[in-house]
Amino acid sequence: MKIGYCRTSTTEQVAGFEAQGQMLLATGCTRIFREQVSSVAVRAELDAALDFVREGDTLVVSRLDRLARSTTDLLGIVATLERKGVALRILDFGGSEVDTKSPTGRMLLTMFAAVAEFERGVMLERQRAGIAKAKAEGRYRGRAPTARAKAHHVRSLSQAGIGASGIAAELSISRASVYRILAAGGRIVRSARTLFAAIAAELEDMHAVAIDAQAPGITADEGTALLAVLREGVDRLKRLIVKAA
């Protein structure tokens, strides 16, 4: 059985998130775990995927950086999979696929992870040096979040009668970001229609995730995982209502 895992760091990365899912489906994954969270945060869906896989299964990811945050993290994940008799397959590994079922694939994976971590360390060191220099010269102001920087455009399009989905597509941000911006301006509080549209959108997302989580001949473990997905959706809905109040 092929189990997929896809992740993006933010909810704004909609296109990349969808592309990962399509790649995994095209590979034949019958179950896909999805989440939009930073690699340094708790990755609940990755933990769920590692717990779900069984001997003989293959965990499939689109790229290495979607799975592991460092060489140590990668080796820990690979060790967990090996203990369970599960292979790891990376679809885009420098332009080709890598499968840990083969000794060569495992060696390449470990070497590549070490080089990637080294390059990231060098990049962060240069970034810190650049920021320090800019601060010393009084030129550093930080970077405003992408969605927040477009707040004025979001409100203008909303006032023009364009719905949340249309605004999100026009500005390349998520619907959740649109609702947060409108809520901050008091529009959801003043408009029950907008609030219910937000709730409906969240329910649509919950339904889509639930469908993705289902598989023919669902087992007890799969049922438990599906219930967890639905509970997470309910929690998201509750947070949305609290923010709008």
Highest-scoring range by mean pLDDT, 17-21, 168-172, 224-228: 17-21
**Residue given tokens 């001949």 in the structure block:** 217
Give the start-to-end residue ranges of the domains of the chain: 2-117, 146-244
**Once rounded to an integer, what is the mean pLDDT over residues 39-48?**
88
pLDDT tens-digit readout, 102-144: 777 777 777 766 666 666 777 788 888 888 888 888 776 665 5
**Which of these, 107, 12, 113, 111, lies nearest to 61 by C-alpha position?**
113
- Please state, as a whole number, how many other Cβ atoms lie within 10 Å of the Cβ of residue 196: 11
Per-residue pLDDT, 88 = 92
Which tokens go with 208? 């889509």
C-alpha to C-alpha distances, 108 to 73, 78, 212, 227, 238, nearest whole angstrom: 16, 13, 32, 38, 45
Catalytic (active-site) positions: 9
- What is the percent of the chain where pLDDT is above 90? 21
pLDDT interval class at 73 (50, 70, 90): confident
Query: Whole-prediction pTM value?
Result: 0.46
The CATH classification number of 2-117 equals 3.40.50.1390
Can you read off the two tokens belonging to residue 170?
């026009």
Confidence of residue 69 (pLDDT cuts 50, 70, 90): confident
Which pLDDT belongs to residue 244?
A: 46
User: How high is the pLDDT of residue 15?
Assistant: 81
Half-sphere exposure of 43 (CA within 13 A, CB side): 25
Give pLDDT, residue 200. Answer: 53
